[in-house]
Structure 1
Amino acid sequence: MMLPTDPRRAVPDHVPETARPLGDRVLRLGRIAWAVVGIAAAGLVVYTAASTLSGVVVPLVVAAVLGILLQPAVDRLERAGLRRGLGAAAVLVVLAAVLGVAVWVTVVGVVEQSTEIADRLTRGLATLQEELAGTSLDVSGIDLGSATSALSGGLASLFGSVFSSAAAFLVGTFVAVFFLFYVMADWPRIEAFVARYASLGATSGRDVVDQATTTLRRYFGAMSVSNLLAAALIAVAAVVLGVPLAVSIALVTFVTSYVPFLGAIFSGAFAVLIALGSRGPTEALVLLGVILVMQNVVQTLVLTKLSSDRLRLHPIVNLGSTVVGTVLAGLLGAMLSAPVTVMLRDVVGHLRRRPDHDDAPGPSGADAPSDPPDQAPARDGAPRSEG
């Protein structure tokens, strides 16, 4: 027998919005508005706290991303018979060795070329003053000595802040190394813990975590391929032009390409200065043209093609997310904007997905069917046994 329904009971969700009483619609809109305000306030608090602690938060975020990207290497070592802690330590040692060699090769090469680069720049500036003398762009009145003194004074005044920033960077790096080690070593437990609370809609937490990590790996894999291609082509151009330190130029181009916009400017200036100091202005201009084509055309097209295919992300959305990420979180936001956008899109998709009919919980209480179980219709048209 049917239980009497309470007229004060809320209207079921499947009833269209226009068929709901006005009071229910106003109440629903009010709840949505307060939810939006609460989410915005929580986001503001998190953003303010992250900005205040950026010296520690940024290295930790970078370490977490590196841990997710390098975790498959630890898995392979574990399958080969090495314990996860030792495997994580081995990956850290290899990573530190690669970074150390890259920095050493680059710094030594730049130091060896520094005198020649300075001489070339001085002669170039003198030639520019002679060419522009008597024109509206005359720069002969500029006192290089005064400018150098002012620059030196400015650098001296900034020494304290630079030292404190360097100290904060070293502390953040030290903490990030330990965090990276434990992310790689304890990834199975971390993944299980996050998956326990990450279920969205009809999607299990394990699937949500797997999809997010796959998105990160696919995006940075596509970026690595495009960066490697651009760095290799620029190094080949440097060798053809007779510019020294082609390996250093390729390393700097590859590493800085992970930072949108500023990375290309830094690596381009680095390569052009070496070409100017070693070969002269003609070779420097030719190499600059090659760099502009490689980083702004070839690299962009390759990254757009790979990221669009692997992440189903439209180039316009990719560019817009990069701009928004840069405004909100600086260089870190620019680096992670595309994968975070894909993750948010996947979250919305999980929340919109409805559970299957077989997996939906059965009605209970006032919504329970009044028919006895033995008179319920058989599923899929199959006759019900009378046993």
Structure 2
Amino acid sequence: MKRASKARTAASPAPADPPQHEEHHRPALSPALQVLLALAATVVALAGLSFARDIVGPIALAVVIVIICHPIRHPLERHGWPRWAATSTVIGLAFVVLIGLALLLVFAGVQFARLVADYADDLEATGRNLVEWLGTFGLDKQVSDATAAILDPAEILGFVTSLGGTVISVLTALFFVFAYIIFMAADGSRYARAEQVFGRGIHPTMQRFRSFNGGVRRYYVVNASFGAVVAIIDGLALWAVGVPAPVVWAILAFVTNFIPNIGFIIGLIPPALLALVVGGWPLMLAVIAIYCVVNVVLQVLVQPKFVSDAVNLSLTLSFFSVIFWTFIIGPLGAILSIPLTLLVRALVLGVDPGTRWLRWLSGEDVDAAAGVSGP
């Protein structure tokens, strides 16, 4: 029996192998092609942002203001305030910040226009003298004309007028900014409960945005602190040497302090030119010396280190961000350059673990970030 069983077993055919389905693998893209596709997608996205700058700018401004004001919600809710009351407080504080900044800019613009009108004759005389002085060095007529145009009252008033038009368009967009602030502040309380709804699985994503929000707040706290110190010192120094409207230049120094690296130069040019008109070369050199001592030491040497530590951005990337975002969304991009760069890093580089070295290259302390688990 055993032999017959063995014989039948030996005679039975071996079980057929299961059918193999042919696998068709798409050829992987080469690294060079991947880079080209990524660059092409980036260019398209940036072109879209630039085309929609009138929409993107107000939204970005509203986001930054809400992020700055949002932490006031937490102590109010801990003291038993209902969510609607805490949200209303955030909205009210955001409106105060926005309206206060708008009033400062309007006041400075009006005073600047009055200065140009009051010193129109002096500006023309200074322009002619400067052209004659440049002529003694053999400079061609184009350079002389360009220099004279800088002090031409009509050109300056035209610039003020265009600036006024920009301010009017910004004020028109404030309605939308106010609406964005209301909606974002209301949504902020809802998003804070995301981990309770979806569990700890989304903790890494929430942590990235908490890190982004914290970086934005630290950045503006550092800039506002340094800007206030610089504005007070500049205003008092300009008042002491006799430059007209020192309050206007103090406001300008405060606002331009939010423009990394090159804000110092923007804030220096108007008071230096006015000092040249009012008191000649000695007063102009005195103003330049004041700004070099105060602004260069604080804004160029000391502040960038604090900003870099606050937001974990390299100094090179901070400087490039100003130029890049100004080109993409206009003048508002200069003030919002650091938050926009932080947002791009959080969205693009914070998702893929393989980009850890790129985050380190941008200035982020990746080892510290990996061990952080903020509330």
Is residue 65 of structure 2 the alignment partner of residue 63 of structure 1? no
Shift of residue 264, structure 1, vs aligned partner: 3.6
**Compared with structure 1, are the counterparts of its residues 284 and 232 closer, same or farther at alpha carbon in structure 2 (3 Å cutoff)?**
same
1:165-215: CA deviations, max 9, x gaps? 676544433212210222223312245569989x99x95222122111112
1:284-342: CA deviations, max 9, x gaps? 22112322444444302222211232334332343344454455555455444445555
The question of whether the paired residues in 1 share the 8 Å contact of 2:308 and 2:314 is answered with yes
Is residue 45 of structure 2 the alignment partner of residue 46 of structure 1? yes
The CA distance in 1 between the partners of 2:102 and 2:136, in whole Å, is: 50
Alignment of 1:143-292 (within 5 A): 168-192=169-193, 204-260=204-260, 263-292=263-292
Shift of residue 43, structure 1, vs aligned partner: 3.4
Higher helix residue share: 2
Q: Which runs of 5+ in 2 are unaligned?
A: 1-16, 355-375
Q: Which runs of 5+ in 1 are unaligned?
A: 11-22, 354-387
Amino acid at match of 1:70: C
Alignment of 1:283-322 (within 5 A): 283-322=283-322
The question of whether the paired residues in 1 share the 8 Å contact of 2:59 and 2:180 is answered with yes
1:41-97: CA deviations, max 9, x gaps? 543443232222211221111111121112223545555647034313421442255
1:12-43: CA deviations, max 9, x gaps? xxxxxxxxxxx97x84x338778666655543
**Compared with structure 1, are the counterparts of its residues 6 and 327 closer, same or farther at alpha carbon in structure 2 (3 Å cutoff)?**
farther
Structure-2-length-normalised TM-score? 0.67
**Compared with structure 1, are the counterparts of its residues 171 and 38 closer, same or farther at alpha carbon in structure 2 (3 Å cutoff)?**
farther
2:96 to 91, 94, 97: 94
The CA distance in 2 between the partners of 1:45 and 1:192, in whole Å, is: 35
State the identity %: 24
The question of whether the paired residues in 1 share the 8 Å contact of 2:123 and 2:153 is answered with no
1:95-151: CA deviations, max 9, x gaps? 255235424542454355334432322232343355456662486xx899xx89x99
Shift of residue 236, structure 1, vs aligned partner: 2.9
**Compared with structure 1, are the counterparts of its residues 164 and 293 closer, same or farther at alpha carbon in structure 2 (3 Å cutoff)?**
closer
Shift of residue 283, structure 1, vs aligned partner: 1.7
The question of whether the paired residues in 2 share the 8 Å contact of 1:69 and 1:216 is answered with yes
The question of whether the paired residues in 1 share the 8 Å contact of 2:209 and 2:346 is answered with no
The CA distance in 1 between the partners of 2:41 and 2:136, in whole Å, is: 61
Structure-1-length-normalised TM-score? 0.65
Aligned length: 328
**Compared with structure 1, are the counterparts of its residues 133 and 165 closer, same or farther at alpha carbon in structure 2 (3 Å cutoff)?**
closer
The CA distance in 1 between the partners of 2:124 and 2:273, in whole Å, is: 12
Amino acid at match of 2:214: T
Instruction: Look up the match of 1:20.
Output: none
The question of whether the paired residues in 2 share the 8 Å contact of 1:259 and 1:335 is answered with yes
Q: Say which SS state the counterpart of residue 119 (structure 2) adopts.
A: helix
Instruction: Look up the match of 1:122.
Output: 124
Q: CA RMSD in A?
A: 4.7
Amino acid at match of 1:209: F
